[in-house]
Structure formats: C-alpha cells, structure tokens
Amino acid sequence: MLPFPDAKSVSEKLDAAGYIRLSVTSHSFITGYKHSTFTASPWQADFERHFQLTNIAYLPPPDTGLSIVFADDSLVVVDKPAGLLSVPGRGEGMADCLVSRVQATFPDALSVHRLDMATSGLLILARGEEMHRQLSRLFRERQVEKSYVAVIDGLLATDAGEVNFPLIADWPNRPRQKVDFEIGKPSLTRFTRLGFDSANKTTRVELKPVTGRSHQLRVHMCALGHPILGDDLYGGVAQIKSERLLLHATDLALFHPLTAASLSFHCPVPF
C-alpha cells in the first residue's frame, strides 16, 4: 500500500499551495485562491486495470433479491449493496450490476445516476425513456437533494463547513480524480459532524454534495486530511481500517417527474 501523509502534513501542503480556511462561528469554509494542483496519491490507470494489477477479481455480493425502497410506474428506488457495480463494467465478468438485477424485475428500468461500486445506499432508476429524460433533467439541474453518511479518519475539528475544491479526472491515473485549481470543474460538498469515536480516532459525518463530480466526496474528504475509512483509491492508511468503504447514500429528495408530488427516501446506515 502506498504511503499517505497524515492530516497535519496534508494541511501544511494545502497551506503551502495557497489555500485558506475562514472560520465563521462553528462553520469552516475552505477556499482555494491560488492556481495550483493537489493530488492525493497515485493509483492504477483505469477501473479495469485496478482489478488486473492488484489481482483482485470482481466478486459482486450474492444476489439475494432487491432491496426496493419505492417503486411505481415512473421510477424505482433501491438500496444498492457495497461491492456491486451500478452499471455493467467493460471488462470480462463484469456484467452483474444493480441495473441488470433491477431489470430482471423491471425490464424498462434505466440508469439515471450512479454510486461508486464500493458505496452503498439509495439509487434511483427511471422506468422508460420519457422518465429517463425527466429524471436526468432533475439531476442535471440539481433539483435532487442527496445526503450521505461516512466515517472519516481522524477527529474533525469543526462542527460543519464546506469544501469547494475544483475536481478533474487524473487521466494518467484513471479512475482517480484530483483537485486542480487551473482546469478543475467547480465542486462543492457540505459536511456536518455527527459524532466522534475517540478510541479509534474517527469521525462520523453527514455529506451533502451540491455538485455531482466523480469521487467528489472521497476526494474532498481526502484533501481535508480526513479520508474515508476503507477507501482503496484515496484512503492511504485509512484503507486498512475498514473492510469496506464507509460511505452510504442515506437520503434522496425530489419532486416526482410525473405528479410533482414531493418524494423523500431514507435508507439506514449499515455501519
């Protein structure tokens, strides 16, 4: 496993690169003001090579039936287990995924958004092409509220705050993403501290992504010096502190694309 700096050294690197922290009451706002690039750590070139180079086969969890949270003629909401791809992978033996399992019951189900393979929790699928267009528009226009719970390494000092580091794909090291203040896309995550585990020196947090960049929550927590436990891409020493990525999509809220009814879904944290 590759070495990774502790929270203090990460903070020192961020400060040296031109980042500032502005504290207002109990909220900490973290802002980049200098063109710079901060990369958490190098990794494999792409998703398939991640498995090939580490000799780890894709072993999805057994199909014991769908955990359906909600279903009607327009959409399906399910609880995705950790370790299952949201959509089929491109490599051999990577066809088993949440979409294929849902389509066995709802043949017209279509993917609207994704969760990382290692992330568990709520996922919405559209039923039919028209609902796919409508739901995709809601996500594109940021009319879907999403909340996650994660356990991060270290004791987070502030009650709540924001991270607005711009993100971009780290192409030589795909599927990794990185913070890049020159060409990165605007990315905003709001966080709230939920509690401490002083014995294990970890913090439970609620995370609300305002934007929806790939790996956004994972990279933002890593850039703060508090990587999510079990993260094999950005976790460093925090990777070995959990057998799975401790990130779970707990809540989704939106207006029904057909009836305009207010919908709110919750899925309890399994860790």
Cα–Cα distance for residue pair 204/152, rounded to 1 Å: 6
Do 187 and 207 contact (CB within 8 A), yes or no? Answer: no
Cα–Cα distance for residue pair 196/92, rounded to 1 Å: 42
223: nearest Cα among 44, 39, 43, 42: 39
Is 23 exposed, middle or buried, given 0-12, 13-18 or 19+ CB atoms closer than 10 A?
Answer: exposed
Is 13 exposed, middle or buried, given 0-12, 13-18 or 19+ CB atoms closer than 10 A?
Answer: middle
User: Which of these is catalytic: 116, 170, 180, 231?
Assistant: 116
Annotation says 108 is catalytic: no
Please give the positions annotated as active site: 116
